Amino acid sequence: MTHYTANLRDIEFCLFDLLGRDSILGTSLYKEFDRETAMGMLEEVKRMAENDLAASFVEGDRKGVDFNKATGDIKVPESFKKSYRAYMDGEWWRVDAPVELGGTAVPPSVRWAMAEMVLGSNPSVHIYASGTSFAQVAYYLGTDKQKKIAKHMVEKDWGATMQLTEPDAGSDVGAGRSKAVQQPDGTWHITGTKRFITSGDSDLNENIIHYVLARPEGAGPGTKGLSLFLVPKFMFDFETGALGKRNGVYVTNVEHKMGLNVSATCEMNLGEKEPAVGYLLGEVHQGIAQMFKVIEFARMMVGTKAIATLSAGYQQALAYAKVRVQGGDMKVMNDKASPRVTIINHPDVRRSLMVQKSYSEGMRALVLYTASIQDAIAIARSENDDERIGDLEALNDLLLPIVKGYGSEKSWVLLGTESLQTFGGSGFTQDWPLEQYVRDAKIDTLYEGTTAIQGLDFFFRKIIKDKGRAIGLLAKEINTFATSGGALAEEKLLLGKALEDVNAIMGTLVGFAMESQNNSAEIYKAGLQTSRLLMSVGETIIGWLLLRQADIAIEKSANPGRDADFYAGKIAAAKFFIRTVLPHLAAERIIVEAENGSIMEIAETAF
């Protein structure tokens, strides 16, 4: 029996009722794409995710990967290979490949809706299958010769990795010491050690292209001195893709992790056994800017993975609560002879389930709303609409740390405190998938930038550096909705109050940043509260998206057909979230406004 159940009805509601994706289908970039095609693809991905992909989820965790330290080669379980091949042989890689290399022009909103189901059922399949996404970077940023690498990556199913982290340079990427030395033939020899490299090796692909950040000889310090190199596992003929000799990039260790065990997380050594030959991407020294094309995709993926796992956890918890008989109804709890009831009848279990429902559906809307901005960016670029592109890209940049940071943090916490908790003691066993969900989801708050780093990025880069442009546009849109009245007028007033509290939190942090120009220690006050700001903005956006869904559900309830319960659930989830979650933002505001930075004055020995 599969562990995974996709919530395709809610995905469809988000795409077409909430976000109106019908309006872009059949036009511009997507003139060959209509709703029927989109739903057909989503239904097929649902079938594959619930069956072929989910089939190896548990065994992949229990067996993990087999690492041969002598050769540096990694093997994955045969059952996982079968799941991976189901995805690749079904040609789902086409949604990520450059159109010029056989890719399919799919709106990002539909692409990320598909990804949710893949990531919810077996996230490692999606992670290993990212070679075609990486190929876009080589194709669009590379030289004519490097475009051939992208072609082989797509046509020959080559894997790819992103190599930033080093043992002494984790989040501080600019401290990296890997070195690149140019050779007479124009190639580069890379030396150094990289750590925590996802998909560093496997026997899923005949070749792997490593995207490696390294510092060319004589380059300056920090991130500005880094360049991006394409380093293949095996050398190859550029014209035919035929493999040649082994290149000098090897796995030297595989991390023993608490979860996501079938995804090989590796320590990699470059240039120790023999030269690690690399190609400077685009023949320009713009490593960080180029790598951020991959990082942005990875952050979107991580947030989607986390939110997909919460949805899977909620579906499991809901199904269990409907069949698990335990205790009597609270109304007659003193009557020991009263009938026993399923636990969904107990008040706190209902509270817990509604917490899970509102967050999982609200954060799905967050992912797809962000993806709809990416739809608009793609269309604006195709039409050379520079005026729109700037605002849209700023809004997408603003939303990414919320998807990744807020999405991963809330999902991880709720999976453990609510989804697993629904099962009682059974949740702590391997009889149910919840304990694996919890272990697998923890990494989402850590890789591609921890939640604290997302908070710092959100405030200092996406708000301060942007001069409040994107956050201002978003706040204006939320405020317009909050003051629109209608059937949910009281809830909209509460949303407006939450927006007021968030604006005050943001204003206080901006004040701290300004004060730091005269007294540098004042910046600590902002640093102590940027994560709180990130989470508070996330809660407000979720409340807004849930209320928008509820407005639509109320309208459709006039003629609900078979969807009466679905619409009732939408309305209930929005009301619950607005009334039980958003009031906490008033307390968050008080905490931020009272920040005095005194914790930074405490001696280390006092901790």
Q: Which of 228, 357, 370 is nearest to 301 (CA)?
A: 370
Domains located in the chain, CATH noted: 8-134 (1.10.540), 160-285 (2.40.110.20), 459-600 (no CATH)
Is 0.95 surpassed by the pTM of this model? Answer: yes
Is the distance from CB of 198 to CB of 295 less than 8 angstroms?
A: no
Task: Characterize the bridge pairing of strands 276-280 and 188-198.
Answer: antiparallel
The one catalytic residue in 448, 491, 539, 588 is 448
Backbone angles phi, psi at 204, to 5 degrees: -85, -30
Q: Which residues contact 95 (CB under 8 A, 6 or more apart)?
A: 103, 104, 106, 111, 114
Is the distance from CB of 548 to CB of 573 less than 8 angstroms?
A: no
C-alpha–C-alpha distance, residues 49 and 83, integer Å: 9
Q: Which pLDDT value is given to residue 1?
A: 61
Mean pLDDT per block of 10 residues along the chain (607 residues) reads 92 98 93 95 98 98 97 97 98 96 96 98 97 96 97 97 91 91 98 97 98 96 96 97 98 97 98 95 95 94 98 98 94 84 97 98 98 97 92 97 98 98 97 98 96 98 97 98 95 98 98 97 98 98 98 95 96 98 98 98 97
Q: Is 448 a catalytic residue?
A: yes
Tokens of 227: 């360049």
Identity (one letter) of the amino acid at 57?
Answer: F
Strands (E), 183-226: 188-198, 208-216
Q: Which residues pair with 246 in a beta bridge?
A: 234
Q: Which pLDDT value is given to residue 338?
A: 87
Torsion angle, alpha carbons of 135, 235, 168, 260, to 10: 60
Identity (one letter) of the amino acid at 585?
Answer: L
Sign for the pseudo-dihedral over CA of 24, 28, 34, 37: negative
